[in-house]
Amino acid sequence: MNTTRFGELEVLCHAPARPTHATPLLFVHGAYVAAWCWEEHFLPWFAARGWSAYALSLSGHGGSRQREHLDSYSIDDYVRDVAEVAAKLPAAPVLIGHSMGGMVVQKYLEQYDAPATVLMSSVPPQGLMGSAFGLMLKRPALLSDLNAIMAGNDVNIESLREALFHQPVDAADLRRYYMLSQPESHRAIWDMSLFNLPHPARMHQAPMLILGASHDALIPADQVHMTAATYGRRAEIFPDMGHGMMLEHGWQDVAARIEAWLVERQL
C-alpha cells in the first residue's frame, strides 16, 4: 500500500504488479469512516487482479484536511473531493461508493461523467428519511447511538456491530474499527436527508451496478431496490450480509461480482 496526498486529501493506493486494466478504480467511503475501510480487503484484492485501486478520505475524515471543520462540509464539498482526486488519476476512474459514498457518487454524476459506477448499500436518491423512520420504529437505540457518534460521543461498541455486521466479527477487528470510526458532518447528513438530494434527470448516464445486503440495518434491501428502480436498473442483494459489505464475511463475493461486472464492460 502507498499512502499519498492529493493536495490536502489522503489517498490510499494499491498499484498492480502487472496492470491488466487501463481504467483505475476510485473507492468512496461512507459516513463515520475513512479510506481505511477499503484497505482491509478491497484495495489489495483488486490490485492483485490488475487494477490500480485508490481510496480517498473525504475532507474532515481520516488523514485528510481540516478535521476540526468537519461539520462545515456538505455533500457538494465531498463531490469536489472526488473530482479533485479523479482529475489527477491517469484515466477517468470507475467510482465505487458505499453508503454516504454512494450518495456522493450520484451527486458527482450531475456534474461529471464516469466510465462506470457501483453503488454499495447506498443512500437512495430519495434520501435518508426512510432509513431514519425505519430505525426509529425498529431499532431506536441504534438510531440514538448513531446520533451520539455524529456528535463525537462514545457509544457501546455493540452499536457498531449492529450497524455494520450480520455475520460474526472478530472482537479485535471490531475494536480496531471502533477506534478508527469518527463523527460525521451534520451538514452532510442534512443534505442526504432533505436539502441536497440527487436529480436523476441531470445525471450522466454511466453504467451502474447497484448492490445491497439482506440484513442491512441502515439501508435495508427495499431501499436498495428503490434506488435501482429510480435508475431503471435491477438491484442485486447479497444474502446473510450487513451494511459493511467491504468488511463482512463474504466480502469476496461482493468484490468478485464487481470484478465480473467490470470485465463484462471491458474496463
Question: Closest Cα to residue 59, out of 49, 69, 50, 51?
Answer: 69
Give me the phi and psi of 32, to 5 degrees please.
Answer: 75, 0
Is the confidence at residue 18, as pLDDT, over 60?
yes
* Residue with the larger pLDDT of the pair 157 and 71: 71
What are phi and psi for residue 211, nearest 5 degrees? -120, 145
175 vs 9: CA distance, rounded Å: 26
Q: How many CA atoms lie within 13 A of 106 on its CB side?
A: 30
Q: What is the pLDDT of residue 29?
A: 98
Number of domains comprising the chain: 1
Q: Sheet holding 9-14: strands in order across?
A: 2-6, 9-14, 53-56, 25-28, 94-98, 117-120, 208-213, 236-238
What phi-psi label fits residue 125: left (phi over 0), alpha (psi between -120 and 50 degrees) or beta?
alpha
What mean pLDDT do residues 143-166 have? 68
Q: How many CA atoms lie within 13 A of 161 on its CB side?
A: 12
Higher-scoring residue by pLDDT: 55, 144: 55
pLDDT beyond 80 at 84: yes
82 within 8 A of 56, measured Cβ to Cβ = yes
CATH of the domain at 152: 3.40.50.1820
Q: What is the pTM of this model?
A: 0.94
pLDDT band per the 50, 70, 90 thresholds, residue 12 = very high
Q: What percent of the chain has pLDDT over 70?
A: 90
- The C-alpha cell 459514498 sits at 101
* pLDDT computed for residue 50 by the predictor: 97
Q: Are 255 and 175 in contact (CB under 8 A)?
A: no
User: Where residue 139 falls among pLDDT bands split at 50, 70, 90?
Assistant: low
Residues, the chain: 267
Percentage of the chain exceeding pLDDT 90: 75
pLDDT (tens digit, 9 = 90+) per residue, 114-136? Answer: 999 999 999 999 998 877 656 65
**H/E stretch holding 177:** helix 171-180
The answer to whether 114 and 95 are in contact (CB under 8 A) is yes
Can you list the positions of beta strands (E) in 22-116? 25-28, 53-56, 94-98
Say what the pLDDT of residue 118 is.
98
Check if the beta carbon of residue 144 is closer than 8 Å to that of residue 236: no
Looking at residue 141, its pLDDT comes to: 63
Per-residue pLDDT at 146: 64
Asked whether the predicted pLDDT for residue 47 surpasses 60, the reply is yes
Is the pLDDT assigned to residue 204 strictly greater than 70?
Answer: yes
Give me the pLDDT at residue 132, please. 63
Q: Which of 114, 70, 60, 61 is nearest to 267 (CA)?
A: 114
Q: Which of 122, 166, 161 is nearest to 145 (CA)?
A: 161
Distance, CA of 28 to CA of 75 (rounded, Å): 12
**184-200 per-position pLDDT tens digit:** 999 999 999 989 999 99
Is pLDDT larger for residue 146 or for residue 96? 96
For residue range 20-35, list pLDDT tens digits in order.
999 999 999 999 999 9
- Grid cell 428502480 in the structure block, residue: 229
pLDDT tens string 156-182: 777 778 788 889 899 999 999 988 988
User: In the prediction, which pLDDT does 109 show?
Assistant: 98
- Tell me which residue range forms the domain holding 54: 2-264
* Phi then psi dihedrals of residue 50, to 5 deg: 100, 5
Q: For residues 83-112, give the mean pLDDT.
A: 97
Q: What 3-state DSSP class applies to 201?
A: helix
